[in-house]
């Protein structure tokens, strides 16, 4: 339970009014619940394409993880793309969402 309490406390301390999808996945994984394969990346990091090889299928979803942008889909903060397009798509999303804390990359 401490793990979950720490996530909740951290989100509260950061001024979040809700958990990010990445934080929910961390809690689900801790509880041994099934989640899609995923990882997060900060805007300053470069996407390592080899990490995408662990994903089944040939597509991924890239999502903005930010408590500042709650309506991500309406603003273009959710993109479906082929794995080989992911680096280019992520680079554009970093430009489009300069205040984004991290991005969630999910198998699709």
pLDDT tens for residues 15-68?
Answer: 888 888 899 999 999 999 999 999 999 999 999 889 999 999 999 999 998 776
Confidence (pTM): 0.85
CA distance 66 to 58: 26
The 3-state DSSP class for residue 101 equals: coil
Query: Can you read off the two tokens belonging to residue 31?
Result: 């509880």
CA distance 39 to 21: 11
CA distance 43 to 41: 7
CA distance 21 to 68: 14
């Amino acid at each position: 339970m401490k793990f979950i309490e720490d996530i909740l406390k951290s989100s509260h301390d950061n001024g979040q009014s809700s958990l990010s999808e990445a934080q929910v996945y961390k809690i689900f994984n801790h509880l041994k619940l099934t989640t899609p394969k995923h990882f997060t990346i900060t805007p300053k990091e470069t996407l390592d394409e080899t990490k995408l090889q662990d994903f089944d299928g040939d597509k991924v979803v890239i999502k903005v993880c930010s408590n500042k942008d709650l309506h991500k889909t309406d603003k273009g903060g959710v993109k479906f793309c082929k794995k080989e397009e992911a680096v280019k798509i992520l680079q554009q999303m970093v430009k489009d969402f300069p205040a984004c804390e991290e991005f969630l990359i999910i198998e699709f």
